[in-house]
């Protein structure tokens, strides 16, 4: 329908935008092999030396904290998010609209608002900032991701499936095991992977809810801000780009197979920064 | 704040908001934050719309899937890393100046300026605009375009009177993300901006651990109110269905 010229122009534009997105990522992968510790271009000599040098105790501690926080926050999000989605999808009750609005709100709020709100709440409640306050902060946006994924799935699955299962004599557990679980498992895995990826990369809220500890993003933030250890940052960047690609591609596959909408993907991605 | 014990006293009043209202430095910070957020949103819309159109109506199945993943993946690579790499690119001895020099152009020293902040935000939030715009354009039925042509509309008229109004909710939905995310950020201005790139978030960030926290909370109410108004307008324009 579009003229040939339009099609060509749109194709070229799209190729340029994709290049704009990817050239910086390709560059950081190259910098990881920079032998010099001065990050200037062009890179004069290459080495894999920094890959050993980056595995310091500081990096290991931060990585381990990030993994723990991510796993716990994802666990909380899976439990609370799927239950909330069930409640909102299945029952009509007073305040239902408000609850679904309040659940989604953290991803529409500017990150600094969530951050200062949590920080003020912890300080006012005399709660010492610790691993658990970081987990609490991360759970606020991880819950949304799981909630959105599960809700989208429940809305598309027909309630008559449950009625049919009951009519055929299945008890509550059997209905859950053989009807609900097969329908939901894809959404839960996809939601869980996305939630973990979000938590693993979060820095805006984490800075305000962490005590003395460093998660991996906080450690990198410190390095970049002070201009220290930049070769180490390059190597971590290299590893993180490769490692985050794996769960995302996996989740992408699951989402495609199970048909979660653009809304789910965008909202999940949004929550990353919220 | 108590001047003797320097502990934060909890008294209900509007002093913090009055300080905000009376100090012109805070006005310029607020306007800079909102202005750059708007500029980022505009730039992302301009970059994303043709790409979304390409994905929805021109690309075949395979190239669409490829572009989709190519847009989605950068979103998931670390935020800090993406800010950091732009710092390396925009440095005076970075890739940008090297390339400009090779093609015989004068060096562009935009590192650590508001331009850098704008460019980096545009880069980082671009996928958030592409996805809803693509979603909205994909839902425009072919038959509408055929009907428009049958009724004698040219390509431009069809675009302006049929495609654009139908895709607008998608653009607005994307703009909620790009606008809100820029509004609430302090990392990029801190890492890649200059002395005059302070955002609202930076004032809040600097206040943590000091006695200024109540004032910071008052300042954080500004993006909250701006987003509230923005969301109300967006709902009016039907953006929520396009999310």
Contact check, Cβ <8 Å, B91/A252:
no
3-state helix, strand, coil in chain B (%, to 5): 75, 0, 25
The span from the CA of A231 to the CA of A222, in Å, is 14
The span from the CA of B129 to the CA of A63, in Å, is 31
Residues 97-126 of B with CB under 8 A from A: 98, 123, 126
Please give the structure tokens belonging to residue B156. 């431009």
The span from the CA of A242 to the CA of B77, in Å, is 8
User: Is 0.90 exceeded by the ipTM?
Assistant: no
Longest dimension (CA), chain B: 79
- B-chain residues near A116 (CB < 8 A): 204, 213, 216-217, 220
Q: Residue B45: what pLDDT?
A: 95
* Phi, psi at B197, each rounded to 5°: -115, 20
Contact check, Cβ <8 Å, B213/A241:
no
Is the CB of residue A140 less than 8 Å from the CB of residue A106? yes
| B225 inside 8 A of chain A by CB | no
**C-alpha A54, offset from chain centre:** 24
Contact check, Cβ <8 Å, A17/B145:
no
- Each residue's pLDDT, cut to its tens digit, for chain A (274 residues) gives 678 888 999 999 999 999 999 999 989 888 888 877 777 777 777 788 788 877 888 889 999 999 999 999 999 999 999 999 888 887 888 877 788 777 777 777 778 888 888 888 888 888 888 889 999 999 988 898 888 888 888 877 777 887 888 888 888 888 888 888 888 888 888 888 888 888 888 888 898 898 888 899 999 999 988 888 888 888 988 888 887 777 667 766 665 554 444 444 445 454 544 4
Which parts of chain B sit beneath pLDDT 70? 1-11, 13-14, 209, 238-243
Q: Residue B7: what pLDDT?
A: 56
Per-residue DSSP letter, A202: -
Among candidate residues A31, A122, A102, the one with its CA nearest the CA of residue B94: A31
Contact check, Cβ <8 Å, B243/A21:
no
CA atoms within a 13 Å half-sphere pointing along the CA-CB vector of A252: 17
Contact check, Cβ <8 Å, B79/A272:
yes
Q: Residue A247: what pLDDT?
A: 66
Q: Residue A272: what pLDDT?
A: 45
Q: Which of B89, B180, B213 sits opposite A24 (nearest CB)?
A: B89
Contact check, Cβ <8 Å, A10/B58:
yes
Burial class (CB in 10 A: 0-12, 13-18, 19+), B139: middle
Burial class (CB in 10 A: 0-12, 13-18, 19+), B65: middle
Q: Before A42, cis peptide (omega within 30)?
A: yes
Neighbours of A98 (CB within 10 A): 9
């Amino acid at each position: 329908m579009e003229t040939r010229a339009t099609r060509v122009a749109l194709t070229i534009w799209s190729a340029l935008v994709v290049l704009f997105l990817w050239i910086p990522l390709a560059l950081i992968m190259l910098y990881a092999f920079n032998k010099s510790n001065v990050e200037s271009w062009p890179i004069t000599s290459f080495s894999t030396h920094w890959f050993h040098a980056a595995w310091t105790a500081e990096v290991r501690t931060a990585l381990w904290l990030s993994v723990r926080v991510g796993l716990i926050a994802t666990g909380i999000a899976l439990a609370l998010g799927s239950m909330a989605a069930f409640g909102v999808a299945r029952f009509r009750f007073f305040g239902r609209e408000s609850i679904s609005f309040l659940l989604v709100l953290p991803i529409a709020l500017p990150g600094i608002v969530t951050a200062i709100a949590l920080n003020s709440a912890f300080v006012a409640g005399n709660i010492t900032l610790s691993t658990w306050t970081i987990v609490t902060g991360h759970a606020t946006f991880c819950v949304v991701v799981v909630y959105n994924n599960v809700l989208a799935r429940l809305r598309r699955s027909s309630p008559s499936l449950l009625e049919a299962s009951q009519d055929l004599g299945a008890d509550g557990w059997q209905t859950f095991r053989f009807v609900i679980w097969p329908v939901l498992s894809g959404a839960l895995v996809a939601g869980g992977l996305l939630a973990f990826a979000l938590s693993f990369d979060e820095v805006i809220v984490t800075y305000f809810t962490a005590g003395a500890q460093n998660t991996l993003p906080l450690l990198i933030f410190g390095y970049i801000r002070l201009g220290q250890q930049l070769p180490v940052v390059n190597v971590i960047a290299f590893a993180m780009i490769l490692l985050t690609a794996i769960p995302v591609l996996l989740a992408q596959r699951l989402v495609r197979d199970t048909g979660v909408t653009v809304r789910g993907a965008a909202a999940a991605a949004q929550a990353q920064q919220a | 704040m108590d001047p003797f014990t320097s502990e934060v006293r909890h008294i209900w009043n509007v002093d913090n908001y009055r300080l905000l209202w009376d100090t012109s430095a805070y006005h310029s910070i607020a306007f800079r934050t909102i202005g750059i957020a708007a500029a980022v949103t505009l730039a992302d819309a301009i970059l994303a719309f043709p790409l979304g159109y390409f994905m929805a109506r021109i690309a075949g199945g395979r190239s669409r899937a490829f572009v989709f993943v190519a847009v989605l993946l950068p979103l998931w690579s670390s935020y800090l890393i993406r800010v950091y790499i732009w710092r390396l690119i925009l440095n005076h001895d970075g890739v940008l100046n090297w390339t400009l020099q090779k093609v015989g152009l004068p060096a562009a020293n935009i590192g650590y300026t508001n331009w850098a902040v704008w460019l980096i935000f545009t880069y980082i939030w671009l996928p958030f605009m592409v996805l809803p715009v693509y979603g909205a354009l994909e839902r425009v039925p072919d038959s509408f375009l055929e009907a428009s042509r049958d009724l004698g509309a040219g390509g431009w008229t069809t675009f302006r009177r049929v495609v654009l109004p139908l895709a607008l909710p998608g653009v607005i939905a994307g703009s909620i993300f790009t606008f809100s995310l820029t509004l609430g950020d302090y990392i990029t201005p801190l890492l890649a901006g200059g002395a005059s790139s302070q955002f609202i978030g930076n004032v809040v960030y600097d206040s943590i651990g000091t006695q200024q926290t109540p004032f910071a909370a008052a300042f954080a109410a500004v993006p909250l109110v701006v987003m509230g108004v923005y969301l109300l307008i967006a709902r009016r324009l039907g953006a929520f269905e396009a999310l």
